[in-house]
Structure 1
Amino acid sequence: MGIRERLQELLREAPDDAEVVEFDLVWWTWGELRRVVGEVSRALDRAGIGPASRVGLVLENRPEHIAALVAVLATGRVVVTLSPLQPPARLASDIEGAGAAVVVGSPAALDGVAAAAADRGLVLELDRQGAVRVRAGIPATDVEHVPGTAIEMLTSGTTGPPKRVHISERQLDGSLTSSGQVRGERLLTRAVTISVTPMVHIGGMWRIVGALSAGRRIVLIPKFAVEPWASAVERHRPRAAGLVPAAIRSVLDAGVPAERLGSLKVITSGTTACPPELADRFYRTYGIRVLMTYGATEFAGAVAGWTYQLHQEWWETKAGSAGRPFGNSALRVTAADGVELGAEEEGHLEVRTEQSAAGAAEWVRTSDLARIDPDGFLWITGRADDAIVRGGFKIHPGVLVASLEGHPAVREAAVAGLPDERLGAVPVAAVELEPGADVDAAALVVELIAHCRAELAPYEVPAHVLVVDELPRTPSTKVSRVDLVDLVRARLAEPATA
């Protein structure tokens, strides 16, 4: 049973009083969710937005937005995700580029973009009670789309402008099946998924769709914060939860008592690499194993990672690895000319999986550099597309990040390439400080550059280092190198102080 058919089954058969989404400590039932699904579906029908049409959803982590997602998928339409986390001008540009026949969003999200969006199609406003009204515009002529597409989603855009990826029904169904997110003997279960990742990111989308597919209840948190998350774990006693590395670090820094998290056996962590020392510290502190995963929007989820059994057997010797390929996936490393390399040789990572748009028979080259050890474990060593070329010298940002994070005052560092007329590009960096670090920012910058000079080649030393309260991040919590470059440019444009 595919995800569209599964959602149709739930809408037909789930009891009206069965809990489905907890939000702000209040449960939405299947009856309430079904009502809003009906509201959205009828509004699309009245506008002539039929099956296979592309529907832009400005998705927020709210129950009525889950209902809108279900309405689009269950009726055979195509979800086109739009991020409300963007500034209005950028969202308006995204809507224009998406070219969907209709855009659905909350009143607040549409306030700054409704006029621009109306020029491109119908704008439907979805309020917090799930009522739908026409905000502006008329249905647009839907642009051509790839047949069989279920979701069109932007990549994270950490190294450049995000690109829209077409996720087919086959890919989505394959990802859910391979990870066990399928219906059991019962229509619904009492198990709970705690979701804190934005639905506009593949991690958040997959978590919501996976929970619905398996019939689990969902605890929806708008944005990660330690106390709401820990409270949800205490109330519902799940055995597993998902956190990005920044959230794992926040739980440790907050000193959450171990007994509050006592039900958890594992934390899954994706979207960006989790430092092995962070995962190990969490495990030693709480006895909860951190299972890293590797995937991409293009694969509709994870294709490799750690399992509980792998962690038990291999963690002590393989900490830092991204794990092994999952059942329906295969990995290999190739040279620039496509020739497969041997164990421990670094090259371009390629993936063959049913979750790929190309299908299970074709290898797909990723933008990651990697090696595979003799035991089949994947080690990500960098990215093929983020090297900074400074006057002909190639610099891998990871080398600079490791050097900066080796300083005791630095909690996390990020590096990007700033275009330079003479050299092509120069590396620039920003750092977050360890909590409680009492340092003078200007003096620390001088110290960090000296620290890098002592460890790196001269051309690898960053041209500029900023000390920031928080590193700029994408909705998936990855550091945004695009925004980092903008931050550096803004700082350089500031007038010098006396």
Structure 2
Amino acid sequence: MTGIRQALRELWSAPDDARMIQQDGRWYSWGEVRALAENIDRGLTGIGACEGSRIGVVLGNRMESIAALVALLSTGRTITTLNPMQPIGRLTADLHQSRPHVVLAPAKLWDSDEFSAVASEIGVDGFALDAGLTRRATRNVDAEDDATASATVAIEMFTSGTTGPPKRIPLTWRQLDAAMSAVHGHVGTSSSTRRPLTGRVALVTLAIVHIGGMWGVLQALTEARPFVLLPRFTVAGWVGAIEEHKPRIASLPPAAMRSLLNADIPGEKLESLRAVTAGTTFVSPDLADEFIGRYDIPVLIVYGATEFSGAVAGWTKPMHEQWWATKRGSVGRAFPGVQLRVVDDRRSVLPRGVTGALEVCSGQTGSGSDEWVHTSDLAHVDDDGFLYIDGRADDAIIRGGFKVQPEVVANALREHSAVLDATVYGKDDDRLGQVPVAVVELVDGTQVVDEAELKEFLRGHLTGYEVPVSIHALESLPRSVSLKVDRRRLLELVAELEASSA
């Protein structure tokens, strides 16, 4: 298969008038994207930022970000992602910590005194990236510089950070190419020989600053497909893109899937879809079955992580037709070139069907295909090779010596007819070490919860030590750009609730 870098270079054979990106109802041509990408390349080359240079990009879902991706990745520069959806304080702290050689950011950010001051403090070169490219900061040669060029790293990307401080992960060209090859092997496709920027229109739903959205863009660019770039997920925007472009497959995270079901979208609006993929976070098999029952569209769950540069296991449509009835709850089988195993605390391999810590061996990992990478996910693999995620080892709540898995408690809460969604976390306790606390989103959207009734319900589904000490209700659970529950914001909201009730 052609590598991602070479595939990006082949875009230059597309005609300038070819439609490439649809954003907010407007099509941007390849000629427009190419012109901006070449302008970015010239600007960076002019200041000596060539192959291997670390380029910080404030990466929003907009055409200018795609032009930057094309310009940087096709020339072997390293992208250091900066999240525009963060508060300005977190964004500038990230910039200060990552210290790229150059920063590309929208003009409105450069107009912020806080952002410009940090760029000046760390002494980086900077450009405003909008319709064109404007120099906004000049490198200070006397400034401390701990940025190191690397021709092997393609993208430095944050994990989602929904359960704690996010970590910046270096993704190498080897990892990305291995991941792309695994995806094509999994779905049975290969590099296309058709004319660039033709064929079915792809749909990028998630924020490209995280691996789910980034992967959607990389796959569309590598396969030279035109694509719709949603600035953010909305039911109307997603359904409108499906109706207009009639894709066969589209991604739909579980929170978005629930929103679609709640909106009672008619099935004929989704008639082009042969499957939806889901996998940014836990996908309840009951939610998947509800979606399948409503629309007769299979839900193909995948499992992966930023550290693996994408998915390493998942379902296919033929697999779903054969196995879903007996394997519901699984996240599918390992992708081609991926090995999975489950180990105990001493890293001894456990038998099939026994739960332990999941380990992955693949060219998609940072250490390559010769080493096993230990994850924080608890899992088991059955006799037919299907992977089941049973929880997270680092999320486990130890209550007086008893282990409570938050997802087990959350699943039990989701079984209650009044609960739309739930999340559970551990709270420090002087006597027991930690105790579970639950936060629910109710079907009627109110914040009035019958805590005693929910606890009584849980006692019929859980052991006593698994029942939360308190249950709060929010109008909606706070979510990150990847539509996972944002743990830090959740704790802030719970603190506000507790303070107001006190």
TM-score when normalising by structure 2: 0.93
In the alignment, which residue of structure 1 is the partner of 2:166? 162
Percent identity, aligned pairs only, is 46
Q: Distance in 2 between matches of 1:104 and 1:385?
A: 35
The partner residue of 1:334 within 320, 338, 343 is 343
User: CA 1:122/1:491 → structure 2, altered by over 3 Å: closer, same or farther?
Assistant: farther
The residue identity in structure 2 corresponding to 1:319 is: R
Q: Is 1:472 paired with 2:474?
A: no
Bigger shift: 420-429 or 288-297? 420-429
In the alignment, which residue of structure 1 is the partner of 2:216? 207
* SS of 2:80 mapped into structure 1: strand
* SS of 2:291 mapped into structure 1: helix
Q: Distance in 2 between matches of 1:300 and 1:29?
A: 29
In the alignment, which residue of structure 1 is the partner of 2:239? 230
The partner residue of 2:499 within 489, 493, 498 is 493
Cα pair 1:84 1:109 within 8 Å, conserved: no
Cα pair 2:58 2:105 within 8 Å, conserved: yes
Cα pair 1:418 1:426 within 8 Å, conserved: yes
Root mean square deviation, CA, Å? 1.9
In the alignment, which residue of structure 2 is the partner of 1:351? 360
Cα pair 2:157 2:171 within 8 Å, conserved: yes
Q: Distance in 2 between matches of 1:424 and 1:91?
A: 34
* SS of 1:494 mapped into structure 2: helix
Q: Distance in 1 between matches of 2:306 and 2:199?
A: 29
The residue identity in structure 2 corresponding to 1:223 is: R
- Using the TM superposition, give the Cα deviation of residue 281 of structure 1 relative to its aligned residue in structure 2, in angstroms: 1.4
Cα pair 1:115 1:136 within 8 Å, conserved: no
Q: Distance in 2 between matches of 1:217 and 1:394?
A: 48
* SS of 2:209 mapped into structure 1: coil
In the alignment, which residue of structure 2 is the partner of 1:102? 102
Q: Distance in 1 between matches of 2:44 and 2:309?
A: 26
Cα pair 1:54 1:142 within 8 Å, conserved: no
Q: Is 1:192 paired with 2:201?
A: yes
Q: Where in structure 2 are the equivalents of 1:442-453 lying within 5 Å?
A: 443-453=449-459
- Using the TM superposition, give the Cα deviation of residue 109 of structure 1 relative to its aligned residue in structure 2, in angstroms: 4.2
Bigger shift: 162-171 or 34-43? 34-43
Cα pair 1:193 1:218 within 8 Å, conserved: yes
Q: Distance in 1 between matches of 2:281 and 2:405?
A: 17
User: CA 1:200/1:333 → structure 2, altered by over 3 Å: closer, same or farther?
Assistant: same
Q: Distance in 1 between matches of 2:476 and 2:418?
A: 14
Q: Distance in 2 between matches of 1:374 and 1:277?
A: 23
Residue segments in structure 2 that go unaligned for 5+ positions in a row: none
Q: Is 1:262 paired with 2:266?
A: no
- Using the TM superposition, give the Cα deviation of residue 62 of structure 1 relative to its aligned residue in structure 2, in angstroms: 0.4
The residue identity in structure 1 corresponding to 2:36 is: V
- Using the TM superposition, give the Cα deviation of residue 39 of structure 1 relative to its aligned residue in structure 2, in angstroms: 1.9
- Using the TM superposition, give the Cα deviation of residue 334 of structure 1 relative to its aligned residue in structure 2, in angstroms: 1.1
Q: Distance in 1 between matches of 2:129 and 2:65?
A: 8
Cα pair 1:445 1:467 within 8 Å, conserved: no
* SS of 2:450 mapped into structure 1: helix
In the alignment, which residue of structure 2 is the partner of 1:250? 259
- Using the TM superposition, give the Cα deviation of residue 228 of structure 1 relative to its aligned residue in structure 2, in angstroms: 1.3
In the alignment, which residue of structure 2 is the partner of 1:143? 147
The partner residue of 1:125 within 119, 125, 128 is 128
- Using the TM superposition, give the Cα deviation of residue 160 of structure 1 relative to its aligned residue in structure 2, in angstroms: 1.2
In the alignment, which residue of structure 2 is the partner of 1:403? 412
Q: Distance in 1 between matches of 2:484 and 2:447?
A: 27
TM-score when normalising by structure 1: 0.94
Q: Where in structure 2 are the equivalents of 1:288-299 lying within 5 Å?
A: 288-299=297-308
* SS of 1:179 mapped into structure 2: helix
The residue identity in structure 2 corresponding to 1:9 is: E
Residue segments in structure 1 that go unaligned for 5+ positions in a row: none
- Using the TM superposition, give the Cα deviation of residue 395 of structure 1 relative to its aligned residue in structure 2, in angstroms: 1.6
In the alignment, which residue of structure 2 is the partner of 1:323? 332
Q: Is 1:55 paired with 2:55?
A: yes
User: CA 1:458/1:315 → structure 2, altered by over 3 Å: closer, same or farther?
Assistant: closer
Q: Distance in 1 between matches of 2:238 and 2:447?
A: 34
Q: Distance in 1 between matches of 2:471 and 2:332?
A: 33
Cα pair 1:80 1:152 within 8 Å, conserved: yes
Q: Is 1:6 paired with 2:7?
A: yes
Q: Distance in 2 between matches of 1:39 and 1:469?
A: 46
Q: Distance in 2 between matches of 1:451 and 1:431?
A: 14
Alignment size in residue pairs: 490
Q: Distance in 2 between matches of 1:303 and 1:7?
A: 23
In the alignment, which residue of structure 1 is the partner of 2:316? 307
Cα pair 2:51 2:77 within 8 Å, conserved: yes
Cα pair 1:428 1:488 within 8 Å, conserved: no
The partner residue of 2:392 within 383, 401, 404 is 383
Cα pair 1:417 1:426 within 8 Å, conserved: yes
In the alignment, which residue of structure 2 is the partner of 1:113? 115
User: CA 1:44/1:221 → structure 2, altered by over 3 Å: closer, same or farther?
Assistant: same
- Residue by residue, what CA displacement relative to the aligned partner does 1:61-110 show, whole Å, maximum 9, x if unpaired? 00111001111111211011111111111111111111211221113344
Bigger shift: 397-406 or 142-151? 142-151
Cα pair 1:78 1:152 within 8 Å, conserved: yes
- Residue by residue, what CA displacement relative to the aligned partner does 1:237-275 show, whole Å, maximum 9, x if unpaired? 111111101111111111111111111101011111211
The residue identity in structure 1 corresponding to 2:84 is: P
Q: Distance in 1 between matches of 2:195 and 2:429?
A: 59
- Residue by residue, what CA displacement relative to the aligned partner does 1:396-453 show, whole Å, maximum 9, x if unpaired? 112221222222111000011223455433322211111x36x671x52343234334
Q: Where in structure 2 are the equivalents of 1:363-382 lying within 5 Å?
A: 363-382=372-391
Q: Distance in 2 between matches of 1:248 and 1:234?
A: 17
- Using the TM superposition, give the Cα deviation of residue 182 of structure 1 relative to its aligned residue in structure 2, in angstroms: 5.4
The residue identity in structure 2 corresponding to 1:474 is: S
The residue identity in structure 1 corresponding to 2:253 is: V
Cα pair 2:7 2:223 within 8 Å, conserved: no
